[in-house]
């Protein structure tokens, strides 16, 4: 493959003397801040492009911070007339939530663990009871106590030692995903002196004093596995494994059987798994199968029938994956024996093993299924679900020797429900359904799935929900969302927040476009690398279908996507700006070429297998045809709201900021483009639950106002 020669020439030409601190005059026509123009010329072989707004990438530059603050002030000024409406929506959302609530406890050995929330407090409280649910409550961690010290607080690892005496937990206090691991002695409620920085995965060995943990490099790639002994310093920790190939990242976990610790080295299309007896933390990790291009596999362990076997989900000769088994004593590929064969129309996504049963998670025609198999008899059955379109996922299943499987179920109209399912009797017990306060009645709403035809003959699923009384006359507002990357399948889930849209006549829809795995591995492969544009044309086909079938009209259609879904928003807006009334882009990945050329950024190198390496001419030429920032041009654009996080390590805030600046420079209409930067968070927005609800209320009011709904 021919590689392009990369040269950079920075030419500083200042065209604007904008006062970045100046607040827009709300008594006059609000005008957005102008970004300085500092030309950066990039030459790739014979192609040269100029990036006028690259300077926004440097957040250590005071002018950048002033610019972002001015953008926030401008956005606030534009949105000012809706402040009362935001408060109305926020109160609606809040009043549907049971603020003081209790999760369903789950058992680990002789303890029952659960979280609960208290009215007025931003974060959950982690608790347990010993022996039975009538025992005295023991508070393990009150996240609210930590939150008093920080504007942002996110909990990462939360792992109790096998003897239930030591809690290991990690916290991120900026949104930059830099986690520190702390330890608490649950017998004394005292914190240990041990503190480990830059921690990702955390796994206890069975001796209750040895911890394995992963750390990441400058690009936020987990690449090293260390062994830590309680009572020692991080400097004394032993490096067990290091992955030097920047395409790969590592993770570690322990099997439900508790007997083995696994170390997975993974790229987006290849795996390499090692294992260690959890009772022998000072032993050596053993390799199961060396990495091969395009070979993905994952591991679980079972002792069913007195055996000692690894069960492996693999795509070796099985594009939609199959299940094989191999003895722990010799688990190399030559000893793999088929348990569940490959099926052309069924995507095997994962498997959970228990002592006598396993649950296989499958997707067929975009519908999730759970297949239960008795390891003693090899007989199987499927768990039935009552609705045609839904989401079902495993819940907390910590115990290995059990006949009960816990799962969650929900749909667009059924609130999240937690069930215990008895493997032997095949009966389920509803433990809890998320309570929606204020008299929610699911019979007032309808959900359906329809399909849009693409120009290349594919049928793209669209999931919809709306309130009864909706008429297909093209007059209803509709909000369409999508993602379509990394093989992630957009789930059909319940949201009590969404009722504020549905009750105002808005139809909510998800376009299950290629790039996800809703229809199997082919659906993913057809939306990545040199087929990425299928994601965008699928979304456009869905929008056109909704208009043609009179679910809505182009002047009543708003769209939304985040991260790689923000890339989707930028691409379709460049291609068909006439098709959408307004766009919401959350932490959008829109500067694809520049980001993928910068290997110092988090995630870049590992993502070559998703997007392609633009230093290779084939990929550069292709990415250039769809990169949202590159392809902004003089034309009319819909109204656009762009939201970014200053500390975001996954998608730099500057991508959205640059995109907004270029849109304002190039567009030929009077529609408003807004940029809102969260100055104290990262990729996921604010961390506190009430602050998060305020963000949702802001977004909803923006969407509703674009539909002319102001109350």
Query: Active-site positions?
Result: 563, 648, 683
Distance between the two ends of the chain, CA-based, in angstroms? 58
Q: What is the DSSP letter of 684?
A: T
Instruction: Report whether 656 contacts 625 (CB < 8 A).
Output: no
Instruction: Report whether 113 contacts 106 (CB < 8 A).
Output: yes
Q: At 559, which helix (H) or strand (E)? A: strand 557-562
Instruction: Report whether 593 contacts 614 (CB < 8 A).
Output: yes
Helices (H) and strands (E) in the chain, counts: 12, 40
Scored b (16 or more CB within 10 A) or e, 536-549 reads bbbbbbbbbbbbee
Scored b (16 or more CB within 10 A) or e, 579-608 reads bbbbbbbbbbbbbbbbbbbeeebbbbbbbb
Burial class (CB in 10 A: 0-12, 13-18, 19+), 8: exposed
Distance of CA 384 to the CA centre of its chain: 27
Would strands 202-204 and 210-216 be described as parallel, antiparallel, or unpaired? antiparallel
From CA 257, how far away is CA 643, in angstroms rounded? 43
From CA 210, how far away is CA 58, in angstroms rounded? 41
From CA 97, how far away is CA 436, in angstroms rounded? 6
30: helix, coil or strand? coil
CA-angle at 429, arms to 424 and 430, nearest 5°: 155
CA-angle at 643, arms to 641 and 646, nearest 5°: 150
Sign of CA dihedral 579, 582, 584, 589: positive
Token pair recorded at residue 693: 């609800």
- Residue 630: phi and psi, rounded to 5, are -65, -35
Distance of CA 130 to the CA centre of its chain: 34
Burial class (CB in 10 A: 0-12, 13-18, 19+), 504: middle
Token pair recorded at residue 476: 């209803």
Total Cβ atoms within 10 A of residue 6: 12
Total Cβ atoms within 10 A of residue 145: 11
Q: What is the DSSP letter of 661?
A: H
- Residue 124: phi and psi, rounded to 5, are -75, 160
Alpha helix segments (H runs only) across 44-201: 62-79, 83-95, 143-147
Would strands 404-410 and 391-394 be described as parallel, antiparallel, or unpaired? antiparallel
From CA 244, how far away is CA 242, in angstroms rounded? 6
Q: At 660, which helix (H) or strand (E)? A: helix 653-666
């Amino acid at each position: 493959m021919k590689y392009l020669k990369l040269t950079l020439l920075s030419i500083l030409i200042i065209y604007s003397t904008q006062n970045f601190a100046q607040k827009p005059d709300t008594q006059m026509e609000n005008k957005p801040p102008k970004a300085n123009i500092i030309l950066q010329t990039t030459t790739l072989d014979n192609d040269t492009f100029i990036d006028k707004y690259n300077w926004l990438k440097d957040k250590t530059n005071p002018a950048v911070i002033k610019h972002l603050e001015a953008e926030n002030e401008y956005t606030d000024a534009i949105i000012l007339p809706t402040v009362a409406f935001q408060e109305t929506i926020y109160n609606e959302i809040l009043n549907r939530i049971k603020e003081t609530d209790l999760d369903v406890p789950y058992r680990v050995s002789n303890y029952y663990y659960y979280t609960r929330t208290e009215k007025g407090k931003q974060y959950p409280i982690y608790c347990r009871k010993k022996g039975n649910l009538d025992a005295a409550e023991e508070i393990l961690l009150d996240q609210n106590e930590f939150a008093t010290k920080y504007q942002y607080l996110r909990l990462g690892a939360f792992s109790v030692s096998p003897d239930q005496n030591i809690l290991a937990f990690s916290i991120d206090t900026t949104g930059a995903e830099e986690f520190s691991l702390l330890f608490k002695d649950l017998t004394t409620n005292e914190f240990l002196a041990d503190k480990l920085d830059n921690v990702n995965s955390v796994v206890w060995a069975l001796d209750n004093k040895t911890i394995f943990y992963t750390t990441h490099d400058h690009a936020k790639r987990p690449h090293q596995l260390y062994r830590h002994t309680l009572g020692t310093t991080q400097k004394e920790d032993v490096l067990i494994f290091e992955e030097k190939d920047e395409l790969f990242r590592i993770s570690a976990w322990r099997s439900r059987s508790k007997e083995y610790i696994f170390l997975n080295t993974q790229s987006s299309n290849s795996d390499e798994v090692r294992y260690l007896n959890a009772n022998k933390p000072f032993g050596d990790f053993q390799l199961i199968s060396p990495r091969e291009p395009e070979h993905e596999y994952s591991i679980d362990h079972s002792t069913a029938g007195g055996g000692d076997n690894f069960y492996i989900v693999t795509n070796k000769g099985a594009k939609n994956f199959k299940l094989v088994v191999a003895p722990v004593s010799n688990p190399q590929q030559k000893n793999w024996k088929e348990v569940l064969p490959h099926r052309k129309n069924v995507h095997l996504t994962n498997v959970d093993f228990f002592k006598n049963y396993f649950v296989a998670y499958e997707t067929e025609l975009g519908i999730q299924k759970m297949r239960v198999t008795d390891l003693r008899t090899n007989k199987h059955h499927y768990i039935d679900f009552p609705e045609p379109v839904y989401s079902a996922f495993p819940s907390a299943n910590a115990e290995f020797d059990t006949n009960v499987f816990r799962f969650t179920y929900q749909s667009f109209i059924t609130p999240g429900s937690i069930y215990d399912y008895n493997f032997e009797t095949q009966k389920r017990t509803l433990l809890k359904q998320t309570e929606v306060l204020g008299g929610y009645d699911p019979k007032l709403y309808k959900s359906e799935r329809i399909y849009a035809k693409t120009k290349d003959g594919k049928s793209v699923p669209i999931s919809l929900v709306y309130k009864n009384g909706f008429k297909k006359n093209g007059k209803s507002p509709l909000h369409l969302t999508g993602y379509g990357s990394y093989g992630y399948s957009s789930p059909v889930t319940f949201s009590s927040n969404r009722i504020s849209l549905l009750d105002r006549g808005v139809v909510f829809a998800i376009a299950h476009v290629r790039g996800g795995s809703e229809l199997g591995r082919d659906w993913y492969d057809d939306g990545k690398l040199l087929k990425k544009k299928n994601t965008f044309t699928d979304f456009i086909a869905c929008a056109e279908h909704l208009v043609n079938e009179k679910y809505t009209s182009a002047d009543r259609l708003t769209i939304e996507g985040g991260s790689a879904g923000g890339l989707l928003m930028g691409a379709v807006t460049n291609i068909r700006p006439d098709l959408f009334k307004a766009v919401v882009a959350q932490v959008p990945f829109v500067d694809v070429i520049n980001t993928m050329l910068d290997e110092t950024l988090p995630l870049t190198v590992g993502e070559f297998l998703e997007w392609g390496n633009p230093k290779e001419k084939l990929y550069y030429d292709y990415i250039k045809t769809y990169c949202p920032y590159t392809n902004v041009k003089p034309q009319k654009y819909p109204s656009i709201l762009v939201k970014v996080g200053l500390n975001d390590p996954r998608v730099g805030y500057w991508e959205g900021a640059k995109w907004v600046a270029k849109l304002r420079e190039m567009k030929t209409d009077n529609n408003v483009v807004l940029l809102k930067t969260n100055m104290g968070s990262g990729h996921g927005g604010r961390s506190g639950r009430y602050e998060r609800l305020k963000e949702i209320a802001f977004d909803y009011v923006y969407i509703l106002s674009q539909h002319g709904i102001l109350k």
